[in-house]
Amino acid sequence: MHHPNSGADGTATSRLSRRRVLAGGGKGLLALALAGTAAAACGPGGPPTPDPLEAALEAARRDSDLADLAAAAAKAAAPWLVPALNVVAAERARHATALVEELARAAGRPTPTSTPETGGGTALPSTDTETTAGPPPTVQDVVTALRTSAGQATDLVPTVSGYRAGLMGSIAAACTAAYTVGLPPPLPPSPARRPR
């Protein structure tokens, strides 16, 4: 008498099938486990995203350079603006220094010692070719750049925490004070006189 699960020759084919399924399933689970481990080692989404403070660092260096160039251009035409522009350049260079230190700390690298404390031109890989190709920057160009930097720093504050949030808040406040208090607003255009 044949068993219902046996083949034509009476061998138990269902046991072999179960063994094959279990063995194949075990290999599949092992392959999935190895694939999961490899994926976890590579990280969740490929390469790491850039630190959000890198954009703030670029802005600080760019603003410092822009204020330096505007101060140099103002020496002849508006010498009373030069001290205020120099203060902006130095302050934004200090912001760049603080950002460099924080980025180095977050990355576990030693803090670079070559970033200048004051002055802007040497903190940035030279952008003079871009800026000097046209007319020199004006105070209004510096104000516009500071307004943009203040907005970007303000937007970053809720996305970071601890020291970084305080740093970005401080940078936002300093940029806002620089363009609202430190630099005079442009004079309104004089009204056209009517002929008598």
Residue 105 lies in a domain: yes
Residue 167: CB partners within 8 Å, gap ≥ 6?
98, 99, 102
Residue 189 lies in a domain: no
- Per cent of the chain over pLDDT 90 is 49
Find out whether 57 and 112 touch, Cβ atoms under 8 Å: no
Range of the domain at 89: 53-117+136-182
Residue 117: CB partners within 8 Å, gap ≥ 6?
93, 94, 97
Number of domains in the chain: 1
Give 52-110 as a 3 state SS string.
Answer: CHHHHHHHHHHHHHHHHHHHHHHHHHCHHHHHHHHHHHHHHHHHHHHHHHHHHHHHCCC
Alpha-carbon gap, residue 181 to 43, rounded angstroms: 47
pLDDT digits (tens, 9 = 90+) for 106-120: 988 887 775 444 444
Residue 48 lies in a domain: no
Residue 112: CB partners within 8 Å, gap ≥ 6?
100, 104
Confidence of residue 78 (pLDDT cuts 50, 70, 90): confident
Residue 44 lies in a domain: no
Confidence of residue 182 (pLDDT cuts 50, 70, 90): confident
pLDDT beyond 50 at 52: yes
pTM: 0.64
- Closest to 86 (Cα-Cα) out of 127, 139, 125: 139
Looking at residues 75-81, what average pLDDT do you find?
89
> Over the Cα atoms of the chain, what is R_g?
32
Residue 85 lies in a domain: yes
Residue 164 lies in a domain: yes
Looking at residues 124-144, what average pLDDT do you find?
69
Residue 12 lies in a domain: no
pLDDT beyond 60 at 6: no
Tell me the two tokens of residue 153: 């720093």
Alpha-carbon gap, residue 97 to 99, rounded angstroms: 5
Helix (H, G, I), strand (E, B) or coil at 127: coil
Residue 41 lies in a domain: no
CATH assignment of the domain containing 145? 1.20.1260
Give 5-66 as a 3 state SS string.
Answer: CECCCCCEHHHHHHHHHHHHHHHHHHHHHHHHHHHHHHCCCCCCCCCCHHHHHHHHHHHHHH
